Amino acid sequence: MEQYIAEKVSNWLNGSYDEESKASIRKMSVEELTEAFYKDLEFGTGGLRGIMGVGSNRINAYTLGAATQGLANYLQKCYPDQPKKVAIAYDSRNNSKEFAQIVANVFSANYIEVFLFESLRPTPLLSFAIRHLGCQSGVVLTASHNPKEYNGYKAYWNDGGQVVPPHDKNIIAEVEKIKHLEQILFEQRSEFIKNIGTELDEAYLKNLLGLSLNPATIKKQNNLSIVYSALHGTGITLVPAALAQLGFTNVHLVEAQSISDGNFPTVVYPNPEEEEAMRMALELGHKVQADVVMATDPDADRVGIAVRNDHGKLILLNGNQTAALLVAYIIEAWQKTGRLNGKQMVIKTIVTTDLIKAIAENNNIKCYETLTGFKYIAELIRTLEGQEQFIVGGEESYGYMIGDAVRDKDAVASCALIAEMCAHAKENGISLYQKLKEIYVRYGFYSESLMSVTKKGKKGLEDIEAMMQNWRNNQPQAFGGSKVVQFLDYKHLVEKDLQTHNVKRLDFPKSNVLQFVTEDGSRISVRPSGTEPKIKFYVSVRTVLHKIEDFDAKQAYLNEKLAKIKQELNA
């Protein structure tokens, strides 16, 4: 065992940790100890996230306690002369409720007022609650769509967005100052903890109702057949209520997956990006002749959907396609009602389809790009507040934000607007699949594919870093038969034009992401995941679709190109 790991293990065995944790450590192999202690959990794309268990690289009462104490200390520094308030929510994962109580106890012990949700609630409601209650910060206990062994801790700032630089690094710096367990104040001060019931649900749903763009259409199409699955998570608390509030009366729930259960017994992974996770919802959709099928992840910030193709078969859409549909629907509705005044904006991440940019700019709306993670989208909204109005944004990993009352991806509002745009399409005699084809004709035919390579543990982390370094040092000359003409390195913040040899500085925070752009407009992005032990390869290709009748031939062409590039990546 490496010396620094042995020292950390010794600190746990000889410190004031509980005897059950110490007993677990004594039973662990050298390999298990290495994985549990080789690093401390850090704030990544989605906050702290890891496997539950004993150790500094695991989610447990002590790592969460240290993170909360560090956040509490940082809040004291940032807001020294005012009362401090935080909101806390949790999802359906095993131990989430108990972890939420520990986090509440630590905040209260630091004389910080806590608003703690009485029962599980979606992440977007936590974001909404922070601004609604005037909190300086907030925390949600969740590991989003990760497997059941995981849990996590998303920290938010006063705008309802997740913490971004420099706050994330500053909080970690405060956590690193905690050298002894006694520095963490675990003892609850009950007078500082207030429980939140359904009053926040009502305020959130009232705001969501204001996002509806075609209530008259819903009234005519209220019998739209909708299937919804919560995948054993928090979506069941608000998605059915949101759909009912808009006026939809024919909603079918996947009952077996409406039960909140952190073991996620009916799926391998509770991730709506995976076809297997959507299986039960698709089966029910077939049975009830659904127009649209939707499923949300455990903390209800991502949503996957299926719509009917030209042959009446339910097919899954990817995150880029759903994002493009939402952006087009919302922009076109705003345009028809005369709400566009030149000050609106759309935001997407750098690995999300450029189709969104094409839709926005074709309608004279600015489209901004950020690094992966809705915390960066929220940060940009805050920066431009009062100057430009955010109307919609999204990322390829099935997350979308509509309006700015919630400053994180919001599957509850997304489900509501997806159902509404499906009703609007049906009112106009088409399906969402056919609407997507119309978008391709009008704005360009873009197609994307994602490859992920899993590399677990300490060795995996080293392998991923080596892979990134190899891509950085041995840049490819071409992809799919088209010459690479542009190279972007977000870690070193350089953009190189490989034809003119001009070099520009990228105006982004540093991030370990590489992008290659080819002469024909293909874009290949490489980045380590910030939430899972994976390296991800994003491939985007495009062509022109002059008429819908050419769709099949053009799709076959793009599929062939995607397959060739993925083969060349050899990941």
Q: What is the DSSP string of 291-307?
A: SEEEEE-TTSS-EEEEE
CA angle 89, 406, 529 (to 5 degrees): 75
In 313-365, DSSP assigns E strands to 314-316, 344-349
Q: Is 216 exposed, middle or buried (0-12, 13-18, 19+ CB in 10 A)?
A: exposed
The residues that are catalytic are 144
Classify 189 as helix, strand or coil. Answer: coil
Cβ atoms of 234 and 122 within 8 Å: the answer is: yes
Cβ atoms of 192 and 114 within 8 Å: the answer is: yes
Classify 507 as helix, strand or coil. Answer: coil
Which element (helix H / strand E) includes 213?
A: none
Of 272, 280, 393, nearest to 330 (Cα)? 393
Cβ atoms of 344 and 368 within 8 Å: the answer is: no
Q: Distance of CA 348 to CAs 103, 113, 323, Å?
A: 32, 35, 9
Q: Return the half-sphere exposure (C-beta side, CA atoms, 13 A cut-off) of residue 147.
A: 6
Which element (helix H / strand E) includes 528?
A: strand 523-528
CA distance 390 to 386: 10
Read off the tokens for 255: 């009952």
CA angle 519, 524, 528 (to 5 degrees): 155
Q: Is the dihedral of CA 463, 468, 469, 475 positive or negative?
A: positive
Max distance between CA atoms of the chain, in angstroms, equals 72
User: What is the rounded (10 degree) CA torsion for 142, 146, 150, 154?
Assistant: -30
How many Cβ atoms from other residues are within 10 Å of residue 344's Cβ?
A: 21
Phi and psi angles of residue 371, each rounded to the nearest 5 degrees, phi first: -65, 165
Classify 41 as helix, strand or coil. Answer: coil
Beta bridge partners of 506: none
CA distance 550 to 540: 20
Q: What is the DSSP string of 125-162?
A: HHHHHHHHTT-SEEEEE--TTS-TTEEEEEEE-TTSSB
Read off the tokens for 76: 């004291």
Q: Distance of CA 569 to CAs 38, 116, 459, 515, 525, Å?
A: 30, 47, 22, 13, 11
Which element (helix H / strand E) includes 280?
A: helix 279-287
Beta-sheet strand order (sheet of 366-370): 366-370, 344-349, 389-395, 399-402
